[in-house]
Structure 1
Amino acid sequence: MRLRRNLTTLSFLAPMLIGIAVFFLYPLVSAVYFSFTKFDLLSVPEWVGLDNYQKMADDPFLLQSVRNTLWMVLIFVPLRIISAIGLSMLLARLKRGAGFFRTVFYLPALAPPVAATIAFVYLLKPGTGPVNTFLEHIGIDGPLWFNSPAWAKPSLVLLGLWGIGDIMVIFLAAVLGVPESLYEAAALDGANAWHRFRYVTLPTIRPVFLFAAVTGVIYTLQYFDQAAVAGAIASGSATTGGGLSSTLGYPEGSTFTYPLWLYTVGFQYGALGYANAMAIALFVVALGVTVFLLRRSKAFAGEEMA
């Protein structure tokens, strides 16, 4: 009976286990192996040991892409979480039209990334874009946005904040799930709005907060589509063929993220062994950040309970 029960359980798990083995474990093991080889997809892989990893330390383009990606992680992820929490708190307190505004704030999350990026580049186009035209009417000289090295990354952050409806909905569900009795008890103890948010709302929605932090970091570490399309459109080259490599990171490498350099190394230069080493490094960093956030969350929860 136990064997039959185990076989039945495995039969139900088989589709998932096969999918994990074929689409995750096998590619991961292959990437680890190819990261120790010189490989261009056409010739037989040549074992080079740690050469690809040693090369990463002396790659100036890699260091530039790491700096840009780190900037996005440190700026975009906190702003994404803060904006999502703020919107969810606001929508949770609306008495009329709550459904309408929830839909309005969620709809941008459904826009395809490429289409949304093209629209944003048009809206923020220097000189003729609607945003700069409006700013000019009120006496403000609008920046160059995606055409300025100083404003290109902030423009990408604005694009990302425009589409936070997906995480906002999750925060909204968590906020609405906080028992009203906790707020009433805090109010009876003299807690003001900030104290109720700090000591009632945040501890209750901590799992969602952790989820948003982990997924936000992983999403930003893999930031590719928006940066590539924004650079191509802003530079005046709307092609995605041979002209894409010349516009990656435009302007002046300010949007040159880690995945963009990985793409260039692998598919433009054909150095797939080095590209696999970069992919493994990215995987290790993402895994390390996830473990760190999970540990910090548990430690923070333990300190509060103590």
Structure 2
Amino acid sequence: MMRARAGETRAALLFISPWIIGFLVFTAWPVINSAYLSLTDYDVINDPNFIGFDNYVTLFQDPKVGLALRNTFVFTVMSVPVQLVVSLGLALLLNSAARATGFFRTVFFLPKMTPPVAIGILLLLLFNGQSGLINSALGLFGIEGPSWTTDPDWVKPGLVLMSLWTVGASVIIILAALRAVPQQLYDSALVDGAGWWRRTLRITVPMISPTLFFLFVVDSINALQSFTEAYTAFFGSGNTTYSNDAALFYVIYLFQQAFEFLHMGYASALAWVLFVVIMVITAVQILLTRRYVYYEGDRP
């Protein structure tokens, strides 16, 4: 029996070896190498020059790092709750739809397939302060729209609104969770006279709280790593007309240091700081699950 188990183990390792090799070559090694590069002065052209923790000292003294972190945190705090609420609302509508649920499920998900670069260009077209579709629609109601792409106070709200373009995947995930809520819970609540709002708060949200928490963590990580849409809209293709510090997210600044200024060692230090920040925020979120997330297997 031990020989059979050893044979099964070798077969399993053989089947997953492509993934193991890919992980070691394309994930583990770059991570380890970036940790070393963060301790060096490296410009791609010359060999790395070991300088210890000088990059980290410079990082904490760099005012652009503080600005980029602040912009990233503000965007995350604004975008994640909005995405969750909109996704939950759309999923509730789909769950209550008797017909054409499959059609609308596809319609909501299709925008997720849009390339991020196209979303960045679409942002400039829709949120243009003079001729954008959003301000034109607001003008029909007598509302003067703001300068979404040039006013620092409105840059991040515009990016938050554009992030709603790709909530389709979250809608599908929440819809699957809604379909798994036992119907007898709703029936008992109806017998007790609970209305729709009370049933949603007391039954639906607690029963799908693990899914909401999963999306909360994933959306937070994605927001902290926001890059493509903002870079395309405000920094890409030599665009200087709309560029301003309000759109300077952390990963954009990291990208600039690495590929525009060739400060690879400094960029590696920036990447490791972001890694630590994401780990800390995720750990805090996980600790909160003990109080706010309900798992069906839990016992009172």
Aligned to 1:82: 85
Aligned residues: 295
Structure 2: tracts of 5 or more residues without a match: none
Q: Write the mapping of 1:72-111 to structure 2, written as runs, cut at 5 A.
A: 72-111=75-114
Letter in 2 for 1:50: F
Pair 1:298 & 2:290 matched: yes
Does 1:119 pair with 2:122? yes
Residue identity opposite 1:61 in structure 2: K
Tell me which residue corresponds to 1:289.
Answer: 281
Question: Match for residue 145 of structure 1?
Answer: 148
- Please give the secondary structure, in 1, of the residue aligned with 2:46: coil
Distance in structure 1 (CA, Å) of the matches to 2:299 and 2:281: 24
Quote the Cα distance in structure 2 between the aligned partners of 1:11 and 1:104.
41
CA contact under 8 A between 1:77 and 1:216: conserved in structure 2? yes
Q: Decide whether the 8 Å contact of 2:210 with 2:294 is kept in 1.
A: no
The correspondence of residues 1-306 of structure 1 with structure 2, limited to 5 A, is 1=3, 2-232=5-235, 240=237, 243=238, 246=240, 250-301=242-293, 305-306=299-300
Give the Cα–Cα distance (whole angstroms) in 2 for the partners of residues 130 and 271 of structure 1: 40
Deviation at 1:305, TM superposition (A): 4.5
Q: Distance in 1 between matches of 2:24 and 2:285?
A: 27
Q: Deviations over 1:260-296 (max 9, x none)?
A: 1001111111111110000111112222222222232
Separation (CA, whole Å) in 1 of partners of 2:90 and 2:179:
13
Q: CA RMSD in A?
A: 2.0
Once residues 250 and 22 of structure 2 are traced to their aligned partners in structure 1, the CA distance between those partners, rounded to angstroms, is 28
CA distance in 2: counterparts of 1:296 and 1:137, whole angstroms:
45
In the TM superposition, residue 109 of structure 1 has moved relative to its aligned partner by 1.4
Residues 149-158 or 189-198, more deviating: 189-198
TM-score when normalising by structure 2: 0.91
Aligned-residue identity in percent: 36
Q: Secondary structure at the match of 1:182?
A: helix
CA distance in 2, matches of 1:134, 1:20: 48
Give, in angstroms, the shift of residue 169 of structure 1: 0.9
**In structure 1, distance between residues paired with 2:15 and 2:133:** 55
Letter in 2 for 1:142: G
Larger deviation, residues 186-195 vs 276-285: 186-195
| Structure 1 position 251, deviation (Å) | 4.2
8 Å Cα contact 1:149-1:251 kept in structure 2? no
How far off is 1:161 after superposition? 1.0
Q: Which ranges in structure 1 are unaligned for 5 or more consecutive residues?
A: 233-238
- Aligned-partner residue type, residue 199 of structure 2: R
SS in 2 for 1:151: helix
Q: Matched residues in 2 for 1:103 and 1:19: separation?
A: 32
Distance 1:42 1:158 in 2: 41
1:41 Cα offset (Å): 1.1
- CA shift for structure 1 position 301: 4.3
Deviation at 1:216, TM superposition (A): 0.5
3-state SS, counterpart of residue 145 of structure 1: coil
Aligned match of 1:235: none
Distance 1:61 1:110 in 2: 33
Amino acid at match of 1:91: L
Distance 1:219 1:3 in 2: 41
Which whole-Å deviations, capped at 9, do the CAs of 1:43-81 have from their partners, x for residues lacking one?
121111111111111111111100100011111011111
The whole-number CA distance in structure 1 between the counterparts of 2:291 and 2:34 is: 34
